Amino acid sequence: MIDDLKTLDWKIVLVIVYSTTAILLDRYHTFLPLKAYDRVLFYLVIPLAMIVLLFRQSPAEYGFKLGDWRTGLLYTLICCAVVTLVLYIMSKTESVQEYYRGWGGGRLPLSLHIALDLIGWEFIFRGFLLFALLPVCGPYAILIQAIPFAVAHIGKPELEALSCIFGGTIFGLIAYRTRSFVYPFVIHWYLMMITVLFTR
């Protein structure tokens, strides 16, 4: 058993420990004037710094690139078209109305606020975790990264939280197929944007 521990890939261990810590800190604290700024720092800036400075790798190896943009664009258009009606119906439920009504008001335009809130969120799951886990877990990494993603939605409307193991897996599959976290980010931005608009 001890010998098995010696073969652990320290990068994978660090990615898992850091990602878990960042999610917990996000849940319990706000360090900067806006939660979205925290998420850019903890979910995007620090993981990118770890990749470059500690791992001595290119961020492109973790999906920080356009990748297969033709496939990505196709998946993005299909996903956005399919979920628009579903989200319209969900947005009329009481729990979604209560959670999202008035969301994002403040110093930033709504579209920018959502983009800042989600870009790091998508990178840590569909970039940092997914592409770190792929070499040791293979395609199971697509499902594994969706688990903390779903857990991180605890406290949001129940229907949304329950859908996240499936949505997170689909996002992971798109990132895997395109080798990029960009397309899940764009889809997630669209979903959040229309959900907030539908509840106004």
- List pLDDT tens digits, range 44-70: 999 999 999 999 999 999 999 999 999
Query: How far apart are the C-alpha atoms of 82 and 191, rounded to whole Å?
Result: 11
Domain count for the chain, please give it.
Answer: 1
pLDDT at 118: 97
Query: How far apart are the C-alpha atoms of 123 and 12, rounded to whole Å?
Result: 16
Do 148 and 20 touch, CB atoms closer than 8 A? yes
Q: pTM here?
A: 0.94
Residue type, 113: H
pLDDT digits (tens, 9 = 90+) for 70-83: 999 999 999 999 99
Nearest C-alpha neighbor of 64 from the set 36, 85, 40, 44: 44
With tokens 């689909």, the residue in question is 170
* Domain span holding position 18: 2-198
The phi and psi torsions of 92 (rounded to 5 degrees) equal -90, -5
